Amino acid sequence: MAKYKLKTKKFDPADYLDSPAMIRAYLDEIFESGDPALIAHGLGVVARARGMAKVAKRAGLTRESLYKALSAEGNPEFATVVRVLEAMDLKLGTRAA
């Protein structure tokens, strides 16, 4: 019997966030969780999809500090979250339930 090696690569949702509609749908799901760590991580995924260095510069942060703040272990201040959202041309909003 022949042995086959299966090549795989790690799934990265940032690879699929290629339109405003995809980003909006992704963030809707992330924010619906209510989990602060997941929200920070999700914003980091969107920032990577948009270009981390570009987002960091527009938010007035270093790329390294943005990676750290938006990691699953990060704990960004709310002001940082707002600056990052603004840098990505996104806004917090509410929907009627």
pLDDT digits (tens, 9 = 90+) for 21-73: 999 999 999 989 988 888 889 999 999 999 999 999 999 999 999 999 988 77
For residue 97, being part of any structural domain is answered with: no
Provide the residue range defining the domain that includes 80.
Answer: 18-87
Only one residue has tokens 């500090």, namely 65
For residue 10, being part of any structural domain is answered with: no
For residue 5, being part of any structural domain is answered with: no
**For position 42, what pLDDT does the model report?**
92
Domain total of the chain:
1
Closest CA to 71 of 80, 23, 16: 80
Q: What is the model's pTM?
A: 0.81
DSSP codes, 48-97: HHH-HHHHHHHHT--HHHHHHHTSTT----HHHHHHHHHHTT--------
**For position 93, what pLDDT does the model report?**
72
Is the pLDDT assigned to residue 97 strictly greater than 60?
no
